[in-house]
Amino acid sequence: MVDILYEDNQIIVALKPQNMPSQTDASGDNDLLSEIKSYVKEKYNKEGEAYIGLVHRLDRPTGGIMVFARTSKAAARLSAQIRENKMNKTYYAVCVGIPQQRSDTLVNYLKKDEKQNLVRIVTQSESGAKRAELSYRTLETEGDESLLEVKIVTGRSHQIRVQLAGIGNPLVGDNKYGRNKFKPSNNLGLWAGRLEFIHPVTKEKMVFACPPDKTKAPWNKFYIDKHFIR
């Protein structure tokens, strides 16, 4: 069952469960894009496949808020907002350890190995390097784990995971970038909890916020709900 936060005739805002692909991939597992197409087709009795535009993605292990377009015009306008950094995304991350700086801006250059699906921090001069920028602040610390609020400026693949691992604070549950600091968890400590954008037709400012499931690890160590009271 798709968890819909908002819908009209131009957009649908939904929650992607952790460990579900944003769109069809080689695994053949159920994906959110297909689920939303089926939801729209059934609800509105549409013949043939319903048009749903995928304008951004979340990595499979990452859960949280996504916006989809219901028309090509909406898709084009939402995509333009992303290109122009006018769509604001806030993530919540549980990392191993306590960052040396309670808040900071990280700027790195990243390069993706497509064959291994692995991203590395490289020098600016390396061929294929792409600039990655994010800012974070520490919200809570419990034992040897910290809850961070993360805002990204660029939308690079695995960006948050790689950049936090780069300062020695990999995400809980991240066996790809955690290395010897890997802490087992059924869920990666990363959640897209807040999304802000301009409605592609009405031009209204749209703001959505939704916390992760506070009963599940690694979120259950922290007072998650208080950070979503606006």
Positions marked active-site = 59
Residue type, 226: K
* DSSP 8-state secondary structure symbol assigned to residue 215: T
Supply φ then ψ for residue 160, to 5 degrees: -65, -45
CB-count burial class (<10 Å; 0-12, 13-18, 19+) for 201: middle
Token pair recorded at residue 27 = 């695994």
Supply φ then ψ for residue 36, to 5 degrees: -70, -35
The label of the residue with tokens 């069809």 reads 24
By DSSP bridging, strand 190-198 and strand 88-96 are antiparallel
